[in-house]
Amino acid sequence: MNIRFEKAPYTLKVKPEDSKLGFGKYFTDYMFLMNYDPEQGWHDARIVPYGPLSLDPSCTVFHYAQEMFEGLKAYRTADGNIQLFRPMKNIERMNNTNKRMCIPQVDPDDVLEAIKALVKVEKDWVPHSEGTSLYIRPFIFSTDCHLGVHPSKTYLFCIILSPVGSYYANGIAPVKIVVESEYVRAVRGGTGYAKVGGNYAASLIGQEKAEAMGYAQVLWLDGIEHKYIDEVGAMNVFFVIDNEVITPALDAGNILPGVTRDSCITWLKNNGYKVTERKLSIDEVLTAAKEGRLNEAFGSGTAAVISPIGELFDGVEHTIINNGEIGKVAQALYDNITGIQWGRVADTYGWVEPVCSAE
């Protein structure tokens, strides 16, 4: 793919201190753009100065939300390299989402090339401190200008970059989660498995309720019986019951197939843990907790990495998990998955994708 580079005609931004990063607050100097139309397919790949996009108010994305996004990270290793973690898994998921949203397929090799090219240009933005990384946010949206409800014929593909620290303000400290009893995030046949803004828009009301009650996120239950666990706001979820690691199965199509989720399952199975993907009801979890059989719970996600859950509130009872402390399984996953990402643990899975030297 031919990627045009347009140099910024002004002085570049001052980079924030690593200690101030948080999540998704700062953006780098450049972004990647590429257009789609039926005549030319994906075309005009370019890296241009980061800045506002000019869009017609009738642009269909504003009205009918035909869009998708992804999230992955670039890491700076101790031996001076910049690397990605399983980018092809994100790109594969991107095309699965595109299919559901009637967005044209992208060429996986072209997308990987675009991500690498942009990260290479912005390599000085990959932060240095432990626990930090450069978050990569590819997204595609419809750009036709009309009010009819049809798939758009034209699209814009963008990649923006944001240096990040922890997703949660308290880092890897256990989070408090509230079980959502009123709203649902996804239904069978819907878009739950796809990475689309609409899923997150539907979740905001629950998130707002949770935050008002002093909780970090919502535990979503299935949209039919309101009984089975789906996922947490920005993460997949795992429960350790009687030393068996259980996570909701993907087959109902209402759970995001997380890259970190898949990495956790693979690492655990390879390291002798019993891991089961199945339907798991909230009652089973709360009963196990009452009987002292719920060993730990944690979320997984690109942004959140591994996030222990210290408390579950179902609207009646407050269930404290593992004394509100990080459990052994979550700690082992955190150490090993982030170890591979930051180049401290040997990558025996072929998960790391080198980008360039940090020099």
Cα-to-chain-centroid distance, residue 203:
15
- Is residue 168 within 8 A of residue 304, CB to CB? The reply is yes
User: What is the distance between the alpha carbons of residues 320 and 175, in angstroms, rounded to a whole number?
Assistant: 11
Between 104 and 301, whose beta carbon lies closer to ligand COI? 301
Q: What would you measure as the largest C-alpha separation in the chain, in angstroms?
A: 65
**Rounded to whole angstroms, what are the CA distances from 272 to 41, 245, 258, 328, 337?**
47, 11, 21, 14, 16
User: Which residue has 């990270």 as its token pair?
Assistant: 73
State in angstroms the smallest separation of the CB of 90 from ligand COI.
Answer: 9
Closest CA to 36 of 67, 6, 65, 63: 67
User: Which residue has 């709203």 as its token pair?
Assistant: 183
State in angstroms the smallest separation of the CB of 260 from ligand COI.
Answer: 7
Between 168 and 319, whose beta carbon lies closer to ligand COI? 168
Name the residues that contact ligand COI, by CB under 6 A. 71, 200, 234, 301-303
User: What is the distance between the alpha carbons of residues 77 and 46, in angstroms, rounded to a whole number?
Assistant: 28
Between 260 and 336, whose beta carbon lies closer to ligand COI? 260
Side-chain half-sphere exposure of 325, counting CA atoms within 13 A: 5
Between 71 and 174, whose beta carbon lies closer to ligand COI? 71
Between 60 and 302, whose beta carbon lies closer to ligand COI? 302
Q: Rg (Cα) of the chain, in Å, rounded?
A: 21
- The amino acid sitting at 72 is L
> Which tokens go with 212?
């008002």
Between 106 and 303, whose beta carbon lies closer to ligand COI? 303
Between 71 and 319, whose beta carbon lies closer to ligand COI? 71
Between 153 and 209, whose beta carbon lies closer to ligand COI? 209
> What does residue 120 show for φ and ψ, rounded to 5 degrees?
-65, -45
Q: N- to C-terminal Cα distance for the chain?
A: 25
User: What is the distance between the alpha carbons of residues 256 and 258, in angstroms, rounded to a whole number?
Assistant: 6
State in angstroms the smallest separation of the CB of 71 from ligand COI.
Answer: 2
State in angstroms the smallest separation of the CB of 146 from ligand COI.
Answer: 29
State in angstroms the smallest separation of the CB of 237 from ligand COI.
Answer: 13
- Is residue 16 within 8 A of residue 162, CB to CB? The reply is no
State in angstroms the smallest separation of the CB of 303 from ligand COI.
Answer: 3
State in angstroms the smallest separation of the CB of 200 from ligand COI.
Answer: 6
> Which tokens go with 180?
């959502």
State in angstroms the smallest separation of the CB of 290 from ligand COI.
Answer: 31
